[in-house]
Homo-oligomer: A and B are copies of this chain.
Amino acid sequence: MVSACKLALTAAASLLTLTAAQTFQRLGGCPTLGCVLPPDQTDFLAGQYFDIRLEVHAPVNGSEANGGIPDPNFTFTIEKVGGAAQPAASYFKIAEPALERWNFTWYEDLFAQDKKTPSVVRVTSKAYRRVALYEPGEYVATLNYYNGTKTVANWVVRALHQQKKAKNVILFIGDGMTTNMITAARLIAHKSINGKYQSTMQLDKFPVLGHQMTHSLDSYITDSANSASALYSGHKSTVNAMGVYVDSSPDAFDDPKVETIVEILTRIWGSAIGVVSTAFIADATPIALTGHTRQRAHYGPLIDQALHGITNYTWTKFSGPDVFFGAGAEQFIPGSGSYQNKNYYTEFANAGYSVSLNKTSLLKASNTTKALGIFCTSNLPVWLDRNVYTGYLNTTTNDPSGNKKPALDLPGLKEMTLKAIDILHARGGDKGFFMMSEAASIDKQMHSLDYDRALGDLLELDDTVNATIEKLKALGELNNTLIIVTADHGHGFDVFGSADTTYLSSQSDDRSKRNAIGVYQSAGLSQYTVTNASISYNTGVNFPVNWDPRYTLAQGVGAMPDHRENYKVHKSGPRLPATNVTGFPSDDYFVNPKDNTDGFIVNGTLPTYEAQGVHSLTDVPVFAMGPCQELFGGVYGNIDIFFNIANCLGLAQPTNATGTANSTSTAPASQFTGAASGISVERKLWVGLVVLQMAIGWVAVNM
């Protein structure tokens, strides 16, 4: 909305009214009828490949209706500030792309949706593929359409270093991890005496702390796809998108791409690449390192992109990461979950990968061979289930072979990460490595209000960071390695007191049960750190010694479905706070009648079609140590993490030395277009698919 005033001075007043209807948007990043993607205010790394998409919209009906005939004669120029504006094809020395046309519909607001009165928009479009800007400075990209209307995009190519200051970069992402959660995790795992902690978290010991803003391009709340993309490419995008700006075309694989850190680093320095996650590996945070689509739910094609790179357009060559460890066997077992029904275990093996399907095999895998490790279907069972309440594991059917037996020989984040370092160190050699290691279920368990499981996985992350530092010391690589620990977004979680679970359970009505909550002085001290002689988990010094004390944390979120709270740990497996009382497609979630039966009901603050909690706005912490650590203090945007890493790795290419970027772009091939058409992009439907596909645990739409 805000850019409307600046960009489209000629726009009619009615436009401003329309674009103010924010909860629905005609096209994010395009508040006027002429769209330039990348949009106004975009920053680039010098030499970073990207596509340009232009669209001219002609609304047929609705508040913007202009006759419904989109301009086929629009023009587009690029000007480096101080130089002359040139037609883009000429500027980039590529052929003028062909004109494309399509239609799409959208709702202007909730009233229109209730009345089922969509607005129809006709579109003319062009796409300039795989271009780059090399010289640092300011650029002006101008779309001229409708005989005199302009959309102006001001772009900046940042002036960064070409010198490589860090040999290795390890980026830990605690998905959904906020400062509030770190504080709670510290409280349950580390003993304090009279207010002084006797030990602290590894994160607490980092020398540099920053905050990053996580908002999306076109919404102030993000999901893990587009926030990961911002961290990996320096470009914010739209919810559910990764490695692309979102266009309005039917194909989810033709949206304008931006090159990621993995692609650039492979191209410039040839470093080893590692991807580790406790999620299914096609999930947004791991797969956005290599993925380019506006629909994160296209899991099968995204796994193919991870192995083969982009194949429907000429793009940076990529032939798979050196390490690819996680879960989500559904995309590897041949069948409906895998791309073109192929066996991706075989595809990876054929590409030279060792393939590990359990922890024993993982630990024995060669350190000099590329390595695939897929340890179960869906997400990896969480730390609490793998280490404390292990009975749940036997109830699962998540063997990565697809034989519907439980996967019991499971690594955790620490085992995967340490093995990954061995391989990356061996394979990267003097060229170093880049690894992203994700603690995914902090977010996933916060979504389902399972605070214990979320905090357990946060502590597993901290323990992993601790072990990583020790490992790097042993390898003599600590001083060569930039370590960053951050999140991609938050949840509005906090601890507000203690709950006397015995008293709560003994009371007969909801209001009396609430009196079991102790606040301020009655919160008392953490009992999770008080040894109980009858309990021993052998989980080490960085974890609670009692997960089930009488006095637990009273905690929660501000955004939730209807649910019931008793503040006790869930011992028989992950929590399901709300269930669908009407069923697909008219979702209506209410308290799960089997959850916390002795608790009190808290009615929700979210739309009743939401099964879970949702992401929040808050800035998230960034912990940094190693070369370039000083770049990560203070407050900045998530894209600055990409630029800081790129700066530290010397990835800027301020001249077009190779000339490859200016070669003629290729025409779209059908590979992913075909794949995409096989999966509906309609939201409700792919939620259904995801839920069907992931037999175990909860998979939210936006995680």
Contacts and interface: CB of A to CB of B under 8 A. Distances in A.
Contacts of A6: 193
A343 interface: no
Interface in A454-496: 490-496
Nearest to A210: B209
A79 interface: no
A545 to B, nearest CB: 11
Contacts of A523: 22-23, 219-221
A426 B493 CA distance: 46
Interface in A53-75: none
Nearest to A555: B558
A110 B516 contact: yes
A429 interface: no
A600 to B, nearest CB: 8
Contacts of A515: 110, 607-609
Contacts of A527: 1, 20, 22
B517 A605 contact: yes
Contact of A2 (B39, B179, B530): B530
A204 B608 contact: no
B110 A500 contact: yes
A517 B444 CA distance: 21
A603 B511 CA distance: 10
Given A209-B210, A521-B238, A40 B180 contact: no
Interface string A486-524: 000011111111101001001000110011111111111
A438 interface: no
A87 B555 CA distance: 46
B497 A193 contact: no
A656 to B, nearest CB: 26
Interface string A600-612: 0111111111100
Given A2-B529, A193-B3, A196-B637, A616 B180 contact: yes
Contacts of A240: 521
Given A23-B498, A514-B608, A606-B519, A633 B633 contact: yes
B618 A524 contact: no
Interface in A221-239: 221-223, 236, 238-239
A610 to B, nearest CB: 7
Interface of A: 1-3, 5-6, 20, 22-25, 28-29, 39-43, 109-111, 178-180, 182-184, 186-187, 191-197, 200, 203-211, 213, 215-223, 236, 238-240, 490-498, 500, 503, 506, 510-511, 514-527, 529-531, 549-551, 554-559, 565, 588, 601-610, 614-619, 621, 633-635, 637, 701-702
Given A222-B520, A492-B496, 7 more contacts: A23-B518, A23-B551, A179-B211, A182-B619, A195-B215, A219-B524, A556-B558
8 contacts: A183-B617, A195-B216, A209-B209, A209-B211, A220-B526, A515-B608, A556-B605, A558-B558
